[in-house]
Structure 1
Amino acid sequence: MIKRIERNSKVRKFHQAKWDEPVLFELHRPGERGILVPAAEPEVEAEVGDGLSALPASMRRETAPALPEIGQAKVLRHYLRLSQETLGSDFNVEIGQGTCTMKYIPRINEMLIRSPKMMDLHPLQDPDTVQGMLEIYHGLDLAMREISGMDRFSFQPSSGTQALFAMASIVRAYHDANGEGEKRDEIITTIFSHPSQAATAAVKGYKIITLYPDKDGFPDLEALKNAVSERTAGFVVANPEDTGIFNPRIREFTDVVHEAGGICFYDQANANGLLGIARAKEAGFDMCFFNLHKTFAAPHMCGGPATGALGVTAQLAPFLPGPVVEYDGSRYSLSGETPESIGKVRMFHGVAQTVLRSYAWIRALGPEGLLDVAKTAVLNNNYLYANILKIRGASAPYVEGGRLEQVRYSWEQLTKETGVTTEDVQRRMCDFGLHYWTSHHPYIVPQPFTLEPTESYSKEDLDEYLDALRHISQEAYENPEIVKSAPHNSTVHRIDESSFDDPKEWCITWRAYLKKTQPAGAAR
């Protein structure tokens, strides 16, 4: 008799492929070829040369690059095997990459960016040959102005962190132009804000003042009043903060900073819960940025190519990184940099494919659709929040309620009562084809896990995720070794993190790995 599969629980049985696949460079075999590139015809060579002689000697390699030599079939197997070991928002319920706004990317938009009209674009083309793409840049600029209340946008920053760095640079340039650059050397932020806010300001040479929560769990307004002075250059914050806490008194904070002569800039990397509801302008900010690769339905692409869309008020527009797209009523063009511009923060003027995806997403939804995105994201998050707080061992510290599109939860009680840590639960989730992110280090929320359901997920999806968390909580209390020894079905393994803070142990590239693992003088 065939046993019926039990479907009362949504916890899925899962077993991931495991190939023990080498890295690409280890598959190298001298002489193997995937494609034999034909030599140029004599007529072509006579016209354009051999492709090398025209290069200045200083630009020519003395030796060929050490690229792996691999046959086509081996390359195909390699990447297909890796794809079987990968989970993501197209494969599973990916609400666990909190603060990164994982959502469904419309496939029609992926088809758009693969059009030859897009694939063949080059950033050095004459503007007259790319009027359509410049119109899209300009159209996205106008949409972002409406969404934020800002007066001008640049799409040059290639990440949220780069946008934060650009904003800190604009703060510096603005105060330098007013003759106060040397005096105003302090940036104020909050402990719950993304670490990149303090880090990028520090790179610009600012001293960082950090606000901690008051007795109610919100940023301490009285501490801000005590912190501002004639040395205050600016105030940078995320709201909702990185924990998901929304500060309803944010306008009081920006007013205090403005009275002291500072600039207020806003990390809106995750704006999913605010679209059509609240804007940076009305909250008193002078600048903000949005991550197109989060809120506006462009993929992260493993860290790039992304876009941190940077918006400023008219007062700060001259300081934007250039070029930006101008429109005179009949023709689109790229502006030159103004004398006050901070200069480029990356080459050219932004990733065209990412800009097109976000433009298409906004145009498809329209104003009412964007509002529905925010309403659904907040509804999903509050449904998740209400149910997770019912799970034994789970909590959401600092503020009761007051969350919008995400929450940083805590397993502190679970750890105290069972010895199971958030990292243990994270690895056990992999056994069910799911995943969650813990938090930035150092952990401000003890034993954290951060979830952001977005508008893309159904109640059924959220229930599947919740069932997995309930199941693991029950295991932790009844048989904790199952959780502590996880994963059992996944390719994920237990990582020794002892060298994470030691740069001498880091190997960012294959070449760096060889330098650190092979004896001096060994063949590369």
Structure 2
Amino acid sequence: MAHNPDLFADRHVGPDDTDLRQLLTVIGVDSLEDLAAKVVPAVIADPADGNGLEALPAALTEPEALAQLAELAEANTVATSMIGLGYYGTHTPAVLRRNILENPAWYTAYTPYQPEISQGRLEALLNFQTMVADLTGMEIAGASMLDEATAAAETMTLLRRASKSKSPKLLVDADLFPQTAAVIATRAEPLDIEVVTIDATAPLPEGDYFGLILQVPGASGRVVDCGPIIEAAHERGILVGVGLDLLAATLITPPGELGADACFGTTQRFGVPMGFGGPHAGYLSVHTKLARQLPGRLVGVSKDDDGNLAYRLSLQTREQHIRREKATSNICTAQVLLAIIAAMYASYHGPEGLTAIARRVHGHARAIASALGDALVHNDFFDTVLAQVPGRADAVVAAANERGINLWRVDADHVSIACDETTTDDDVAAVLAAFGVAEVAPAGPELSGRTSSFLTHPAFHNYRTETAMLRYLRELSDKDIALDRSMIPLGSCTMKLNAAAEMEPITWPGFANLHPFAPAEQTVGIRKLISTLEDMLVAVTGYDRVSLQPNAGSQGEYAGLLAIREYHRSRGDEQRDICLIPASAHGTNAASAVMAGLRVVVVASRESGDVDTDDLRAKIADHADRLAGIMITYPSTHGVFEDEIGDICAAVHDAGGQVYIDGANLNALVGLARPGRFGGDVSHLNLHKTFCIPHGGGGPGVGPIGVREHLAPFVPGHPLVDELSSTLTVSAAPYGSASILPITYAYIAMMGAEGLRRATLTAIASANYIARRLDEYFPVLYTGAQGFVAHECILDLRQITKETGVTVDDVAKRLADYGFHAPTMSFPVAGTLMVEPTESENLREIDAFCDAMIAIRGEIDRVASGEWTVDDNPLRGAPHTAECLVGEWDHPYSREIAVYPNGLPSGGARPKVWPAVRRIDGAYGDRNLICSCPSPEAFADA
């Protein structure tokens, strides 16, 4: 088939016809359909013309898709939002929008598990941590959370872990944002935590409690002095977490200085558009004594082999693939891209700029409050004013709407008005006119309290001009390997093309500037996009209903397992609390099951890598009356289509359990088989893997769930959206990270049924090609019954390590010298590399990776022969920086072998990627925990 420039699939799928013939020849099959017949078990396979995708419309061209999305965006009404409740208008500096949000060097990067080639995004995240720690008055902050509400829920569990109290009771301020309270309630119940709602201004109730959650300012806008409350709580052994608005923190005394044990919140108003609810970077910060209790990711400072300071993820033993059901959280994805925007917003404005913005916001709120006079409910506020208008709330809100402004109707007698960075004097006048106030009165007294300095590091002072900022962002991105420079062959992570046409709509005002609680009549376009996308995903998966609320794969896992738990409880089967999980499963699976109130029972694997069905049946028999379900990844985490998946599902169903099919590897199923038709009751779908939402250096992600009809009543709901009536809420926004859903919508619309199936089969073909080419050098650990892998393969280095001392770490670091990101290391089997090429890499890139791996095997052989020692060879010395070439060279291999193993670029080799640092000492970083920006003197000392 000749290349068609109008066919998006020909732009997305890497191998052309010539490449494909070569792939198929090496694999030993005649066609992609022949490959499908040999790889996918017949009992689950859909026919090419009956795979559910026939429900999709014909594939659109890029201009057609963009025109369709433009119509949807134009169907929305972008009013001036003064709703607040955790979502605020903000100005994204153009230099940040163009050079981060719209820059593939930033949005296509992966989680920085290879820190030597991730120094840019790690430095940016360290800036984020420093910003949060400074503003909250804490010493340690994590590298971002999924949103404010989930950060609050993580704060709850952190306080419980850290508390000396045995009480299961938690005090929660009634003035929390309603969506935050809903997520806390959902998270608390399976963990047997009893939530007690209180008025934070009243004395604390009698009794034993492990924690207290406050919010400053509160949902009503009220600012309370939390110092006495914290002191009273501590006197009774109660730990305190405070939800803090970071912009307000420039003016008021931060809770960390008042003794709070943790602070949480969102960084959305630091340059990140509302986006109908997300994605936005939440935050969680603590004092040093609780640093090792932090969930999620933490960037720290260590040193490399040359003694230079370098950044890395600290305390990685908390990562879920290691700790599984003992993990402190199921969070895998963070919101890195959005955290970086927020951090650079703070760098661009600096402490003086942020304070000026806060004073302007506060000034507009004071002007409204003064004019409202006796209608004002709270005298102490920052940006949000609560007005009492007996019986007039609807009329006031309607009058504001007529003037193009959305206010928040609290109840029939109260209206809330929230000011933000975008609020103007004209907006203030229009709001007051809606209240029937003709003149603006002089503003009242200004909020104050903060005396401590913040953001004193040069990172928040050196980049105030656009020239300085764009050069800083370029300097950082040059230190990283993202998809704009190389394939990222990470097994289980599916780093595929994020097409520019898919990305373009997310910054359009019609999507980006919508408040998630805006009136439904103003959000017709985004709601139509959401419902259409749900239908698309129903067609792809074979399920009956899809919920888009979960804003990460981890949240999707949690939501799916909650649906199973609630289904059993609705039938009176409350004793069903056992979740079977194969030994090879993603670590988040076990952590999610525990969070959902289930007990994990591990099912063994056979030597082939398949689930041991004998052990499965034995475990089912042992726990038949208590079996809630099984959580299984398909194709398996070992990269194989297991033939017995139908039998596994049937055995669990026969025992009264439900089947959760982890959708992490759905990229190998789309158009070939539907989990909702071959035995699944629920799956989460990683839109940031299979459906092209970019990884962004570790987030954003979207993890919606598909369910069969009997589980539909138990998908996530939301307290502020009538049509989402379930009492289970897993994310702050009703539809999760809605502003990036146009990416998946565009991908499916442009690929069409034929393109989606072609992409899946090409991904499988590419993985099998790599397996064939590399098997004689690095044995492929698992294959299916006919000798094929799915969309990824595991290369076994354990015998090589045993014979030579060369480890997977050595190979991973050496790949950086060849210009490649390493595959997934030691997961799901220690001492192995899991490789996934995806469908978007062409044969030239795939061959270049294979050639690099074969060349590395040649270097390993030179270690095995004794030519190089195990302690001094180019693998153990990798990666090599330009700096390490200067001065004496006392290694048994040459400088050229060290840094140009491919040959010189002038000779046609790949462009050279220069790692920013040498190999980083992880243990040193964990022993010497530094998680905020180090001083310039620290670099000088190093």
TM bracket (short chain): 0.7 to 0.9
CA contact (8 A) 2:659 2:681 kept: yes
CA contact (8 A) 1:374 1:455 kept: yes
For residue 488 of structure 1, report the CA deviation from its aligned partner.
Answer: 0.9
CA contact (8 A) 2:350 2:455 kept: no
2:602 is aligned, of 203, 210, 222, to: 210
Partner amino acid for 1:164? Answer: E
Q: 1:421 to 1:232 in 2, by over 3 A?
A: same
Q: Does 1:93 align with 2:480?
A: no
> What are the residue-to-residue correspondences of 1:337-416 with 2, within 5 Å?
337-338=725-726, 341-391=727-777, 394-399=778-783, 401-416=787-802
For residue 240 of structure 1, report the CA deviation from its aligned partner.
Answer: 1.2
**Secondary structure of the structure 2 residue equivalent to 1:484:** coil
1 or 2, which has the higher helix percentage?
A: 2
Once the two structures are superposed, residues 81-129 of structure 1 have per-residue CA deviations (whole angstroms, 9 ceiling, x without a partner) of 111101111221222x221110111101221111121221221111111
Once the two structures are superposed, residues 13-50 of structure 1 have per-residue CA deviations (whole angstroms, 9 ceiling, x without a partner) of xx989999795459989988679958869996885359
- Name whichever of 235-244 and 410-419 sits farther off: 410-419
For residue 397 of structure 1, report the CA deviation from its aligned partner.
Answer: 1.9
- In structure 2, the residue matched to 1:79 is 473
2:932 is aligned, of 504, 507, 510, to: 510
**Secondary structure of the structure 1 residue equivalent to 2:668:** coil
> What are the residue-to-residue correspondences of 1:222-371 with 2, within 5 Å?
222-228=614-620, 229-323=624-718, 335-338=723-726, 341-371=727-757
Which protein is bigger by CA-based radius of gyration?
Answer: 2
The whole-number CA distance in structure 2 between the counterparts of 1:259 and 1:43 is 65
Q: Does 1:438 align with 2:824?
A: yes
1:66 is aligned, of 454, 468, 484, to: 454
Partner amino acid for 1:386? Answer: R
2:514 is aligned, of 100, 121, 139, to: 121
CA contact (8 A) 1:397 1:445 kept: no
CA contact (8 A) 1:423 1:438 kept: no
Partner amino acid for 2:922? Answer: E
**Secondary structure of the structure 2 residue equivalent to 1:483:** coil
2:861 is aligned, of 471, 477, 485, to: 477
For residue 505 of structure 1, report the CA deviation from its aligned partner.
Answer: 6.3
- In structure 1, the residue matched to 2:920 is 495
CA contact (8 A) 2:715 2:728 kept: yes
For residue 76 of structure 1, report the CA deviation from its aligned partner.
Answer: 3.6
- In structure 1, the residue matched to 2:848 is 464
- In structure 2, the residue matched to 1:194 is 586
Partner amino acid for 2:604? Answer: Y
- In structure 1, the residue matched to 2:612 is 220
Partner amino acid for 1:107? Answer: A
Once the two structures are superposed, residues 428-479 of structure 1 have per-residue CA deviations (whole angstroms, 9 ceiling, x without a partner) of 1111221113346xx5524111111111001111000011111111111114
- In structure 2, the residue matched to 1:520 is none
Partner amino acid for 1:168? Answer: L
The whole-number CA distance in structure 2 between the counterparts of 1:345 and 1:262 is 26
Once the two structures are superposed, residues 148-194 of structure 1 have per-residue CA deviations (whole angstroms, 9 ceiling, x without a partner) of 1111111111111111111121122111111111x212110111111
Partner amino acid for 1:498? Answer: A
**Secondary structure of the structure 2 residue equivalent to 1:224:** helix
- Structure 1: which 5+ runs fail to align? 1-14, 326-332, 518-524
- Name whichever of 138-147 and 32-41 sits farther off: 32-41
2:531 is aligned, of 114, 128, 138, to: 138
For residue 426 of structure 1, report the CA deviation from its aligned partner.
Answer: 0.5
**Secondary structure of the structure 2 residue equivalent to 1:370:** helix
Partner amino acid for 1:158? Answer: N
**Secondary structure of the structure 2 residue equivalent to 1:201:** helix
Q: Does 1:184 align with 2:554?
A: no
- Structure 2: which 5+ runs fail to align? 1-115, 132-345, 383-446, 863-867, 882-914
**Secondary structure of the structure 1 residue equivalent to 2:874:** helix
Once the two structures are superposed, residues 56-102 of structure 1 have per-residue CA deviations (whole angstroms, 9 ceiling, x without a partner) of 6487784278345424244443322111101111221222x221110
The whole-number CA distance in structure 2 between the counterparts of 1:232 and 1:464 is 48
The whole-number CA distance in structure 1 between the counterparts of 2:594 and 2:361 is 56
Partner amino acid for 1:429? Answer: L
CA contact (8 A) 1:145 1:152 kept: yes
**Secondary structure of the structure 2 residue equivalent to 1:408:** strand
Q: Percent identity, please.
A: 28
CA contact (8 A) 1:191 1:212 kept: yes
The whole-number CA distance in structure 2 between the counterparts of 1:423 and 1:109 is 35
The whole-number CA distance in structure 2 between the counterparts of 1:470 and 1:273 is 26
**Secondary structure of the structure 1 residue equivalent to 2:625:** coil
2:368 is aligned, of 29, 32, 48, to: 48
**Paired residues, what number?**
481
For residue 324 of structure 1, report the CA deviation from its aligned partner.
Answer: 12
- In structure 1, the residue matched to 2:501 is 108
- In structure 1, the residue matched to 2:307 is none
Partner amino acid for 1:153? Answer: V
Partner amino acid for 2:844? Answer: E
For residue 315 of structure 1, report the CA deviation from its aligned partner.
Answer: 0.3
**Secondary structure of the structure 2 residue equivalent to 1:281:** coil
CA contact (8 A) 1:157 1:346 kept: no
**Secondary structure of the structure 1 residue equivalent to 2:546:** strand
2:839 is aligned, of 440, 455, 468, to: 455
**Secondary structure of the structure 2 residue equivalent to 1:236:** strand
**Secondary structure of the structure 1 residue equivalent to 2:528:** helix
**Secondary structure of the structure 2 residue equivalent to 1:111:** helix
**Secondary structure of the structure 1 residue equivalent to 2:851:** helix
CA contact (8 A) 2:548 2:703 kept: yes
The whole-number CA distance in structure 2 between the counterparts of 1:348 and 1:55 is 29
Q: 1:436 to 1:40 in 2, by over 3 A?
A: closer
- In structure 2, the residue matched to 1:7 is none
Q: Does 1:152 align with 2:574?
A: no
Partner amino acid for 2:584? Answer: F
Once the two structures are superposed, residues 294-341 of structure 1 have per-residue CA deviations (whole angstroms, 9 ceiling, x without a partner) of 10011012333211011111100000002599xxxxxxx861313xx4
Q: 1:42 to 1:314 in 2, by over 3 A?
A: closer
- In structure 2, the residue matched to 1:163 is 556
Q: 1:50 to 1:492 in 2, by over 3 A?
A: farther
CA contact (8 A) 2:555 2:703 kept: yes
CA contact (8 A) 2:638 2:828 kept: no
For residue 345 of structure 1, report the CA deviation from its aligned partner.
Answer: 3.7
CA contact (8 A) 1:396 1:410 kept: yes
